[in-house]
Amino acid sequence: MAKRKFPTTQDGIMMLAQEMMSGFAKNPTVFPNPPIDVAAQGTRLNSTQGSINNVVAAEATRKSATQTKDGEIGLLSDEMKENIEYAEFIAQGDDAILKLISWSARAAPQKQQPPTQARLFEIIKFGAGWFKADWKDPIGGGRVEMYKILRRELNAGGDMKEAGSSVISEATLVDQPRGVELEYTVIAVNKAGESEPSNSVTITL
């Protein structure tokens, strides 16, 4: 028979203590002189249970106090914000007035900037009338909202025309002209404008 291991949890220790005390009390002829007698063990058990109850009550009190504190902080914050709005109305952007209450004027919203140039545009796979390209995101300027892939026939001249678009830094384009040398590039776009074109790549599909 495997030897029972002494419990390591609070509940396990308390349960075993109760069972042991009951077993000693019911079998005095088997266990006539335990080192800690049943009465002393009962006193210790009751004392321990009282300490556990105190901790449970203290935790409940702490939780209630924390909830009260958080509620008060929220109310205080709301009231402070009302007074800040009032002070901002009075100050009309005058920092000197707002500094009287340890506040400052709101920073003017920054105008969105166009993205900077997309980087390392390359065609990584291609076939008859299609290709897959990828590139690196810009490292400056405003946030990119989309990319446009531009195309023109290399020997025909003229402006670049939009051939496709993507919201991530890769795209697969199909139904592209075949048998002619084409030049492709990509530009980054947001509401503020367009970036400079990336490097260009020429290919015949």
Give the pLDDT confidence score for residue 132 in this predicted structure. 96
Tokens 């005390």 belong to: 21
Instruction: Give the torsion through C-alpha atoms of 182, 185, 189, 194, to 10 deg.
Output: -100
Using 50, 70 and 90 to split pLDDT, how confident is the model at 1? low
Residue 140 has pLDDT above 90, yes or no: no
> Can you read off the two tokens belonging to residue 71?
């509620």
Residue 106 has pLDDT above 80, yes or no: no
Phi, psi for 120 (deg, rounded to 5): 55, 50
Where b means 16+ CB within 10 Å and e means fewer, 187-198 reads: bbbbeeeebebb
Phi, psi for 132 (deg, rounded to 5): -115, 130
Helix 10-26 × helix 38-91 angle, to 10°: 160
H/E/C letters for each residue in 77-129?
HHHHHHHHHHHHHHHCCCHHHHHHHCCCCCCCCCCCCCECCCEEEEEEEEECC
pTM, entire model: 0.49
Give the pLDDT confidence score for residue 79 in this predicted structure. 94
> Could you give the percent of the chain with pLDDT greater than 90?
85
As a whole number, the mean pLDDT across the chain is 92
Rounded CA-CA distance 74/22 in Å is: 53
Give the pLDDT confidence score for residue 127 in this predicted structure. 94
Rounded CA-CA distance 189/73 in Å is: 44
For the stretch 9-29, pLDDT in tens is 999 999 999 999 999 999 999
Rounded CA-CA distance 60/80 in Å is: 30
> Can you read off the two tokens belonging to residue 55?
């901790």
